[in-house]
Every structure is written in structure tokens, then in C-alpha cells.
Amino acid sequence: MAFSDNLQFLRSRHGQTQESLAEALEVSRQSVSKWESAQSYPEMDTLLRICELYQVDLDTLMRGSVEDSLVEDTARYDQFMNRFSKRMAFAVGGIIAGVGLCGLLEVKGLSEYMTGALLLLIIAVCVVVIVASNLQRENFRKQYPVLTDFYTEEQKQTFRQKFVWFISGGVGALLFDVALLLVLFAKSPQGESFESRAISLFLLIVAGAVTAFVYAGIQEEKYKIDEYNRDNNPTPEAKKRIGLINTICGALMVSTTALYVGLGLALDLWRTAWWVFAVAGILCAVVHIVLAPYRDED
């Protein structure tokens, strides 16, 4: 499909006349008419404004088929985001699960040095996965700065129903986890070995709930194509805020990791100092809320 056909399709789909499109682009109606009849082409800055207006990428507008792209995931965005959400969810949950697993191994007789080394290895692998996944996501955003919303309303509604179960299931797991821990401490004999087992089990269930929360949150974000396009083409003020958010959260996570390692090496708190990551996560969430670049618009 040629540019002229794509432009006619987009204009008709949005219920615009040639006059209204010309007004939005600050050109004459005759110019729009010539574009649609393939007699001429707009200048590059006008092409970019058309891409922004209709939320379509330049390559598709000029050489592809906009109509097909609305029903086809030509960038394989859905596949990429599914893979990204799984990696992030299991990496974040894996850090907590690693603490619980190492606690069980220590109760079984594995030395503290070995469990500490294993825990550091698990954390290192999870952090590498998180960093690499985010870098891949940034590269994907640069390669595809604008996407057309190919998701149907039925697909979005189906996920909303799943999202409710992910969140409610995670909350239910946490409440069950707390109740189970209280029952175990109330009914079972006290002892360091028993307490270690109970806390390790508690952390494994928490890890499952956190994994569900992270996966569901990223999957929900996946369907917000308009926000994806907006974030990839931010205003100067929004760009400054996004940069500040990334800087603060990055510094928080680096500081938290250093603090955890320091507490582990200095005070042997490998199994109990995991909470610093939870605090860092909460602080990052607060930073995102306070400095939200589009808070006033939303």
C-alpha cells in the first residue's frame, strides 16, 4: 500500500475531511489532495507530524500497509513483552526465593559460607537478567518508537479478567502465608531450626506472590499502546522527569545492593536483610508517583 492509500485510510478511519486534516497539519487542502492522489509528498517534518497524529511509524506510513498493521503485530511487540514480563517477574521473585532456598539449605547442613555464596550467585543472576531485559526493552523502544494499537477490545477485556485473578490470588497467598506462619509458631515447638524452616517457607510463598504481581503489572502495561507511544515521544519537561526518575531509582537499587552485601559480610545478615530490597522497591514506587511525568494529564 502506497503513502497516498495509507493517508486516505487513516484520515477516513479518524473521521476527518481533507480540510480538517489540512488544518491540523497547517497546510492547504490542496496539498492534502495532492498527497492522496500521489501527485506529491509532504516534507519530512510534516510526515513526522502525520505519524504523531495517527500514532503510526514512518516506515509503515511510507512503505507498508497501515490497515494490515492495525490487525497484525508487525513489530512482534506482544511476543517481546510476554518474554520481558516473564523474565522480570521471575528475576524479581527469584531474589526473594533465593533467600528462602538458602535458608532451607543451611538448615539441611550446608555451611554458611556456601549458602552465602549461593545466595550472592542467585542475586547476581537475577540482577543481570533485570538489567539485560531493561536494556533490550530500551532498544526495542528505540527501534519501534510508535506502534499502532492492534489489540482488540475482546483481547483487552479477557486480560482484565485474568488480571483480577493475578492480583487477588497474590494477595490471598500473602494472607495465607501470614496465617500459616502464625499457626506454625503457635502449634509447633520453638527452636532455631524450626524458625529457619518456617521463615524460609514464608519467603518462598512471598516470592510466588511477588512474581504474580510483577508479571500482571507488566502485562497490564503491555496493552496500553497509547502510553507506549506517549512515553517514546515525551515533551521536554516529561523527558527531564523520566531521566530524573531513572537516575534516582538506579541509585537506590545500587545503594540497596551495596547495603545488603555490607550487612551480610559485616553482620552475617544474609537471611534477614532481604527486606532492604522491598524498601527500595517501595521507595522507587513513591518516586514514580511523585515525579510522574504525565500526572497532570492523567
Model confidence over 8-61: pLDDT tens digits? 888 887 788 889 889 888 899 899 998 888 888 888 888 888 888 887 878 888
215 and 268, same structural domain? no
Read off the pLDDT of each residue in 59-69 and give the average, rounded to a whole number.
78
Tens digit of each residue's pLDDT (9 = 90 or more) over 224-254: 888 888 878 777 777 788 888 888 988 888 8
Q: Residue 296 is part of which domain span?
A: 234-298
89 and 136, same structural domain? yes
Does 228 map to a domain?
no
First and final C-alpha spacing in the chain: 36
55 φ/ψ sector (left φ>0, alpha ψ -120 to 50, else beta): left
171 and 42, same structural domain? no
Tens digit of each residue's pLDDT (9 = 90 or more) over 125-134: 998 999 999 9
Q: Give the domain CATH number at 55.
A: 1.10.260.40
Read off the pLDDT of each residue in 175-179 and give the average, rounded to a whole number.
88
Q: How many structural domains compose the chain?
A: 3
Separation CA 69–CA 225 (nearest Å): 13
134 and 64, same structural domain? no
| Residue linked to cell 493475578 | 166
241 and 191, same structural domain? no
Give pTM, 2 decimals: 0.67
Residue type, 8: Q
pLDDT of residue 296: 57
Answer whether residue 209 shows pLDDT above 60: yes
Tens digit of each residue's pLDDT (9 = 90 or more) over 102-151: 888 887 888 877 888 888 899 899 989 999 999 999 899 888 888 878 88
pLDDT of residue 163: 93
Q: Are 207 and 94 in contact (CB under 8 A)?
A: yes
139 and 49, same structural domain? no
Q: Return all residues near 114 (Cβ < 8 A) that are at least 6 apart.
A: 105
98 and 54, same structural domain? no
Give the start-end residues of each E strand in the chain.
none
Does 10 map to a domain?
yes
248 and 206, same structural domain? no
Q: Tell me the pLDDT band of 166, cut-offs 50, 70 and 90.
A: very high
247 and 191, same structural domain? no
Give, as one character, the DSSP assignment of residue 75: T
105 and 215, same structural domain? yes
| Grid cell in block for residue 58 | 514512518
Q: What is the mean pLDDT of the chain?
A: 84
Does 291 map to a domain?
yes
Listed residues 16, 47, 69: the one ending a domain: 69
Does 240 map to a domain?
yes
Does 64 map to a domain?
yes
Does 143 map to a domain?
yes
Does 227 map to a domain?
no
